[in-house]
Amino acid sequence: MFFHHADEIWEKFPSLRAAAIVVRGVSGAKKEAVDIDAMLADTAGRLRTAPESEWPSIQAWRQAYAAMGFKPTQYRCAAEALLRRYRKDGALPRFHPLVDVLNAESMNAGIPIAAFDVAHIADGITVRAAVGDEVHTTFKGESEHPVPGEIVFADAAGQAHSRRWVYRQGAASVVRDRSDVVLIVAEALHEDAMADVTALCARLRDRASELGLSVTEETLLTPENRQLEFAPAGVTV
C-alpha cells in the first residue's frame, strides 16, 4: 500500500511538508494512557496570547484555501476548526484514545492531522485533484461527489477519504474501536513546516508508545521524498 501526493500538488504547493506514519495494534490502545490535559492547558495559553487565525501554520492554510478558490473562513483546515471550537467551548470532545491524542497534538502544533483505518483503504491514498466521480461518505451516511478540481484523499476504488484537502474526513475509513492498523498524516505549508512536522512526528512516535502501539512505517514527505509504502492490514510486520 502507499500514501503520496500527486505531482500537481507539489507543483502548486512547493512549501508542503508532511509526515506519514503507520501504527498497528490500535484496537488494543491503552485508554488509561491518554493524558492530554497538560497539552490542552498549553494550547489554551497560546490561544490567550494569540488567536488561532494569527498562528503562521494556520495562516498558511488559509492562503492555500484562498489559492484553491475557497473562502478561508468558510472552509477551515481541520486544525483551525479544532482550535476555534476549543477556544469557544474550553473542552475537547473525546472519541477514541488515538484520535483524542491526535486532536490534542494537532491543536497544539496548529497542524492538521488525519487518521485512516487502513482496512478500509483500497491499495493506497493519493492526495490529488478530484475528477468528480469519487464518492465521499459523510458521517450522516450520505454520499457526496467532490467538485472536479477539488483536492481529495482518494484511493484506488474512487473513495474520497477527505474533502477540500484537510477540511473534512469521511466516514468510510474513520478510526473506530475495532480499527487495528491506522495511517496518520500530518501536513504543513508554513515557513517552518519542516522543523515543525519533524518535531510533531517525534511526538507522535512517543504518543504511540504510550498507547502501546507499534510504529511500523514512517517517513517525512518532501519534494525529494514523496511516498510512503507500507504493508496492508492483516500482514505481520
Per-residue pLDDT of the chain (237 residues; tens, 9 = 90+): 999 999 999 999 999 999 999 999 999 998 887 789 999 999 999 999 999 999 999 999 999 999 999 998 899 999 999 999 999 998 888 889 999 999 999 999 999 999 999 999 999 999 999 999 999 999 988 999 999 999 999 999 999 999 999 999 999 999 999 999 999 999 999 999 999 999 999 999 999 999 999 999 999 999 999 999 999 987 777
Convert the chain into a string of H (helix), E (strand) and C (coil).
CEEEECHHHHHHCCCCEEEEEEEECHHHCCHHHCCCHHHHHHHHHHHHHCCHHHCHHHHHHHHHHHHCCCCCCCCCCHHHHHHHHHHHHCCCCCCCHHHHHHHHHHHHHCCCEEEEEHHHCCCEEEEEECCCCCEEECCCCCEECCCCCCEEEECCCCEECEECCCCEECCCCCCCCCCCEEEEEEEECCCCHHHHHHHHHHHHHHHHHHCCCEEEEEEEEECCECEEECCCCCCCC
What structural domains does the chain harbor? 2-125+173-225 (3.50.40)
